Structure 1
């Protein structure tokens, strides 16, 4: 991972993260999301959401940015579980890598750093959800020994997506 740095995000990063998030989300879900959800997601809406997230005083939450030459190439976020299906495991809430920078270890390193944070917050395991049909993400989590742990409908702010939950019952398996 030469030239890649990972740092904690701060409130000043909110709009940069939002712009990146929308770009990668649109690329990832262009053939999966309904047209109305695709159209509704924009940088302004995401900017507000990221400002709220980064303004939170929740000590269990972390937002990370991966950069190359001051350009965001990945983001990750983790915190306490938002749904019962996560079964008390820490939740990986976001993990996005720029399509032009995939297969360089960025997603893996972000996941490791998020798992380290969750361990510090005393979670024994981690879980995340991935939209059904997002085959590259599913293959990535399977390659990292994530196991399917159920399915649920993510109520999401703009799209009720069908999701598969992947879990790691021992954070050491993600950190190793």
Structure 2
């Protein structure tokens, strides 16, 4: 069993988060986003996004990191009470390919849901996932979510894809079903 530690992100984590985010998109969004975007633009675009997030923090955003031997292997970014109907948004969840399938994603989700619950009890929890990302959709269903709606969404590469809003009625429902 690997030992994973969890902690909140600090500004000096920005580059590692952006790198893992870009690598995850390159792996999981191939065939959904354009190859040109994934091969030539995503690294800089994700670096810019995270630079902006750390330069302009918002009070309801929390970023939880998973580390193995001091190296980033996963992260989750939430915005607590982002939506008056659906509650807390899980905006990002990414786990390094080297440790996928070892429960880190589930731990990140459970811990961010607990964090949201501790700050604003009683809220729902939700996320958007690409309809074609079947692996992620199966995982979210195993975590207890239901697909509330599917809509068209503009991709960062300029294309369009269908995205699904997965919801939990409360943060207390966010847990792996065995």
* TM-score grouping bracket, smaller chain normalisation: 0.7 to 0.9
Task: Give the total of aligned pairs.
Answer: 174
Contact 1:5 1:67 in 2 (8 A): yes
* Distance across 2 between alignment mates of 1:155 and 1:120: 33
SS of residue paired to 2:174 = helix
Which residue number corresponds to residue 60 of structure 2?
A: 60
- For the pair 1:155 / 2:154, whether they are aligned, the reply is yes
Match of 1:104 among 102, 107, 115: 102
Whether contact under 8 Å (2:144, 2:175) holds in the other structure is: no
* Partner in structure 1 of residue 133 of structure 2: 134
The answer for unaligned runs of 5 or more in structure 2 is none
Moved more, 106-115 or 155-164: 155-164
Q: Tell me, in whole angstroms, the C-alpha distance in 2 between the residues paired with 1:112 and 1:73.
A: 16
Partner in structure 2 of residue 87 of structure 1? 85
Q: Deviation of residue 175 (structure 1)?
A: 5.5
User: Could you say what the CA RMSD is over the residues aligned between the two structures, in angstroms?
Assistant: 2.2
1:13 maps to 13
SS of equivalent to 2:157: coil
> What is the CA–CA distance in structure 2 between the aligned matches of 1:41 and 1:147, rounded to whole Å?
33
Partner of residue 113, structure 1: 111
CA–CA distance in 2 between the matches of 1:120 and 1:58? 18
Q: TM-score, structure 2 length as denominator?
A: 0.87
- Judge conservation of contact 1:116–1:175 (CA < 8 Å) in 2: no
What's the secondary structure of 1:114's corresponding residue?
helix
For residue 101 of structure 2, give the secondary structure of its aligned residue in structure 1: coil
Question: Secondary structure, in 3 states, of the residue corresponding to 1:57?
Answer: coil
Residues 133-162 of structure 1: CA deviation (Å, up to 9, x unaligned): 111101101111101111123334334331
Q: Contact 2:11–2:54 (CA<8 Å) still a contact in 1? A: yes
Q: How far apart in 1 are the matches of 2:36 and 2:5?
A: 35
Pairwise CA distance, 1:81 = 6.3
Say if 2:115 is the partner of 1:125: no
Alignment partners' CA distance in 1, 2:81 and 2:164: 15
